[in-house]
Structure 1
C-alpha cells in the first residue's frame, strides 16, 4: 500500500506542542497520511551538554505522539553512520520501505539555505517538500520559490523554541502548557534541563 509520509527532522530536545501542532496540521490539512518525527542523533564528536541522549529524546517523542495514530517517532538515523545527510536518510528509507512515498517537512526559514544541502537537487527530484510558515523566514532563493515539488502549507505559526523551554526550566519557570503532559512528566521526573 502506497502511503504518503512526511518526515519531520529535528533534535526534539524536547519535543513541544509547536512540533505536534505542525505535524498534526500536516496530516489533517495536506495529502500526507502520516508524519514521522525523525530524531537527529547526538554526534559523538559534537556532544552538547544541553542535548539529551538519543534514547531520552526518542522516549519523549514516543510519549508525545502515542495518542496520535498518524504521528510516529522514528529512530532511523540512530541505525546509520554519521554524517547524517538528509539525502542519505531518504535513500535508506526508500530502500527499506519501497511502498511508501516520503516527503520532507520544514519551516520556511530552512528553505533559504536548502540550496546548500548535500545533493539538494536529488532530494527535489525524488521528494516533495511541505513547508510551514515562520515569522522570521527571510527570502527564499528564487529558483526554489515556485518549484513544483515545494508545497506551502498554511499551518499555524508556532514560534516556540526548544532552547527557550530548556532555559526556562533551568530558571525554574512553569512552562508546562508548552509541552504535552506526558513529556512534561518525563522531563520533571528525570530532572532534565535543570
Structure 2
C-alpha cells in the first residue's frame, strides 16, 4: 500500500500586533504541535503579517513600528518569519487578498521544482477565478497555507459588515483555518451555528490551549500607559524597542478614535453605491 507523506503547511497570522506579545508567538507553537500530532501535516513555516495603517483601528500605531517589533520578536525563531507586504499597502487589504498574495509567492518559490510550470500556473488561475472548495486541488508539492487565529477572529465572522461572506468561504473552504481557543470561548458552537462554517468544518482545526494564557495586546498597552511593568508578557527586545521609541501613550491610544474601521467603512460605501 502506497504511503503518503504529510502535507506541508505554512501558517499565516494576520492582525494588528499592536504590540506583538508572547501569546502571538505561542499560538504558532500550539498550532504546529496540534497539526503535526495528527500525522497528516508537517508545518514548515510560520508567517506574521501586520495590518497596514489603513485599517484605522483605534490606538493602532504606525506600521513601521509594529513591523519592526514583529521582526525583533521572531529573530530567534528558526521557522517563524515576518512579511511586510500587507503592512506597506497604502490602504487596508482584505485578509482573503493577503492570503492569496502570499500563497502565490509560496507557489512561485516552488515553481522551479515543477516539470511544467506554465501549465500549472494556468491551472491555478482557473481555480482562483472559479473557487469551489470541492474542485480546488493543490498540485503535489504545493504547501498548504492556513490562516492561524484566535477564537476572537472566528467570533468576528458574525459581526455585520466586518467580513464579506465570500471571503470567509474562500479562507475556510479553500485554504483552511487553525483556531486557538481561549478561556470563555466556544468555537465549536460557532462552527455548529453557521451553515457555511459547518460545510467546511473539516478545514477548521480547533486547538485547545490547556495552559491558560490570556495575554492581550490591549491590556499590555493599558499597562504601558500606566507605567506598569509588562516584562515577560512580550519579548525583551520588543519591550526595549517600545521604551526606546516611547510608544503607547494616552495620546496614541486616541489615534483613529473618530475614524470608522476600514472594513466597516468599505462595506458601508459598497451598500450605498
Q: Same fold (TM over 0.5)?
A: yes
Cα deviation for residue 166 of structure 1 reads 0.8
C-alpha spacing 1:81/1:175, structure 2 compared with 1 (3 Å): closer
Distance, in Å, in 1 between the alignment partners of 2:174 and 2:90 is 22
Unaligned runs of at least 5 residues, structure 1: none
Equivalent runs, 1:36-75 vs 2, <5 Å: 36-43=47-54, 46=56, 48=58, 50-75=59-84
Cα deviation for residue 3 of structure 1 reads 4.2
Cα deviation for residue 17 of structure 1 reads 1.0
CA contact (8 A) 1:24 1:71 kept: no
1:112 alignment partner, SS class: helix
Q: Figure out how many residues of one structure are paired with residues of the other and give that number.
A: 191
- Structure with more of its chain in helix, by fraction: 2
Distance, in Å, in 1 between the alignment partners of 2:235 and 2:15 is 17
Residue 126 of structure 1, aligned match among 156, 164, 174: 174
Residue 140 of structure 1, aligned match among 190, 204, 210: 190
Match of 1:7 in 2: 12
Match of 2:225 in 1: 170
Equivalent runs, 1:28-107 vs 2, <5 Å: 28-30=33-35, 31=41, 32-43=43-54, 46=56, 48=58, 50-80=59-89, 82-98=91-107, 99=110, 100-107=143-150
Unaligned runs of at least 5 residues, structure 2: 1-6, 36-40, 111-142, 250-273
Residue 20 of structure 1, aligned match among 13, 16, 25: 25
Superposed CA offset, 1:17-60 (max 9, x none) = 1111112222344232221111011117x374x32211111110
Match of 1:114 in 2: 157
Q: Answer with 1 or 2: which has the greater Rg.
A: 2
RMSD between superposed Cα atoms in Å: 2.2
